[in-house]
Amino acid sequence: MFERFGIFGKYKGIQCWDTIDKLVQHLQAKHKTIYLDSASCHDFPQERYGIEIVERSQMAKQIDVALVVGGDGTFLDVARSIVDQHIPIMGINLGRLGFLTDISPQDMLSSLDEIIEGIYESEERNLIRVTIYKDDEKLFDQLAFNDVVIHKTDSPRMIEFETFVDQRFLNSQRSDGMIISTPTGSTAYALSAGGPILDPSLDVLSLVSINPHTMSTRPYVVSGSSIIELRPHRDHCHGSANIICDGQISYTISAGYHTHVTRHKHFLKMLHPKGHDHFELLRAKLRWGDKL
């Protein structure tokens, strides 16, 4: 039974206050405890309801479930911050596409009531951990729920790098970069770059090159337990590249840096209304059901 709810909103979220207001009133009417995320809800008029605003670092220790009000970008940010506390998460969509925040504001109260009563679908999704080293010194350590991207900087020149899987050499390529994607992220940047759509129940990672120099460079799928390593080519000393997690966290690398990508040790539990069908979501978002 869920009794303590944490609400997370969009960082520039004045437009989501009405939705959060409805959630708060509904949960208080059911005598539930509510906490607001300080990072994204500090401007919400919480004094009207006597709700405590909690620092993000402490939020997961005090709640039973996370409610994310926003778009998929908001969801990604919250997912990374709560996954290690094993807090289930539910997304209410105020964005445009909503593969992750799949509950509409119109349906959120009825869906929330069902979840409170224990009527829901749940699934676990894998995340990836990204670490960057130079001369055995760890310089960067972050999580990604959708993907990690190695991408050229503003230079028009392609980048050159080598890819290793479980310490075995896979290939060397010249391209604009590469996307390493979870199944969750397979419908994001990786899809637009020509990668495969992966069923979210799979524990795999996909490697999708961005505008490769040769047509023989194709998407490749590896086990989720694989260790992937990216090394800028040793002759690639004239420039740099960016490592970007979920399009939100970045780090600049150059020759001599090694980037390791592995599955994170914890999975994220997502909650959906009863009868949730991922295929139905794909048809709706990708318009597969449209008649030509």
Helix (H, G, I), strand (E, B) or coil at 116: helix
Give the closest residue to 90 by CA, choosing from 119, 47, 62: 119
Buried b (16+ CB within 10 A) or exposed e, 200-238: beeebbbbbbbebeeeebebbbbebebebbbbbeeebee
Q: How far apart are CA 80 and CA 268, in angstroms?
A: 9
The residue from 72, 102, 147, 246 that is catalytic is 72
Q: Report phi then psi at 274, rounded to 5.
A: -55, 135
C-alpha distances (whole Å) from 208 to each of 51, 98, 141, 186 are 45, 22, 22, 10
Question: With contact defined as beta carbons under 8 Å apart, do 174 and 212 qualify?
Answer: yes
Q: How far apart are CA 260 and CA 233, in angstroms?
A: 15
Q: How far apart are CA 108 and CA 201, in angstroms?
A: 24
Q: Is residue 72 annotated as a catalytic residue, yes or no?
A: yes
C-alpha distances (whole Å) from 58 to each of 6, 40, 63 are 11, 14, 9
What positions carry a catalytic annotation? 72
